[in-house]
A = this chain, B = another copy of it.
Amino acid sequence: MTKRIGIVCPGKPILRERADRVLELAARDYPQLELVLHPACTQEHGHFAGDDATRAAALLEYANDPAFDAIWFGMGGYGSARIVGEVLAGLGAAAQDKTYLGYSDCGVLLGALYKQGIGRPVHGPLVGDIRRDDGEACVRRVLDWFAGGMQGIEPGLDSRPAAAFNLMTLAMLVGTDFMPDLSGHVVLVEEVSEHLYAVDRLFFHVTQHLKGVAGIRLGEVSDVPENDRPFGYDEEEIARYWCEKAGIAYLGRAQIGHSAANRIVPFGLA
């Protein structure tokens, strides 16, 4: 049976040629999958793939369409926070039984869906990750998973429920109306393009809000900008420091991040 997957962009747009590469790859090698790119994905409205109303409507259109089995987020960037309230308010019955897959900024939506118990939120590569070195392997990891394969799953997941987030995205989500209860969860975090002092600051904030989780695992912290001075602690020292201060177990590294190595983490139990 064919699985029908709708691609939408809640934040930045995706370049048409990148989307086409993934559509062609899927058409060629995954006959059991049918990918459909929402036309709003390539719109441009300032930073965004269309204005807030356009992006919310696009997501709602596909999420509420029973002909789709899954929503695959095309790009992150920024923008999910601006539509999450409208999206939650507009989701109907057909949205309940879908998979929603993406990461980075899309973590706002994944977290909010998880809080509401709507569908199956999954952290994993975006369509736009095709642009990366080794991007095809990255995107195939998602296509394989949609097709029923399990080899793309983050290898450290265990019998405890999990959730995975970009650290900044999680920091902006905690304490809001859209933050799920992660008590008892192993929380995987990753970061990109932030100074280490900013990563430290984010850990201060997030660990204060995550008391009660089963532990934190640290993904990649990549593309750290050069600062005028070294921070003095590396990312793992930072994670250990704040976990210890907050009484949270630090559970080691995780294979998630803003790179082609980013693995799949279904929210809850895999």
Q: How far is the CA of A46 from the CA of B232 in the complex (A)?
A: 4
A78-B197, A82-B200, A171-B205 known; A231-B47 Cβ under 8 A: yes
A85-B245, A245-B85 known; A201-B230 Cβ under 8 A: no
Judging by beta carbons under 8 Å apart, are B48 and A232 in contact?
yes
Please indicate the chain B residues that have their CB under 8 angstroms from the CB of A202 in the complex. Answer: 172
Counted per complex, copies of this chain come to 2
- A209 at the B interface (CB under 8 A): yes
Q: How far is the CA of A232 from the CA of B77 in the complex (A)?
A: 14
A47-B230, A232-B46 known; A172-B201 Cβ under 8 A: yes
Least CB distance from A48 to B in Å reads 7
Partner of A175, one of B174, B198, B231, B245: B174
Q: How far is the CA of A216 from the CA of B130 in the complex (A)?
A: 42
Instruction: Name 20 extra pairs, CB < 8 A, besides A46-B229, A46-B232, A174-B175.
Output: A44-B229, A47-B196, A47-B197, A47-B230, A47-B231, A47-B232, A77-B197, A78-B197, A78-B198, A81-B200, A81-B201, A85-B245, A171-B205, A172-B202, A172-B204, A172-B205, A173-B205, A175-B209, A176-B205, A177-B208
- Report A's interface with B, CB cutoff 8 A: 44-48, 77-78, 81-82, 85, 168, 171-177, 196-198, 200-202, 204-205, 208-209, 227, 229-233, 245
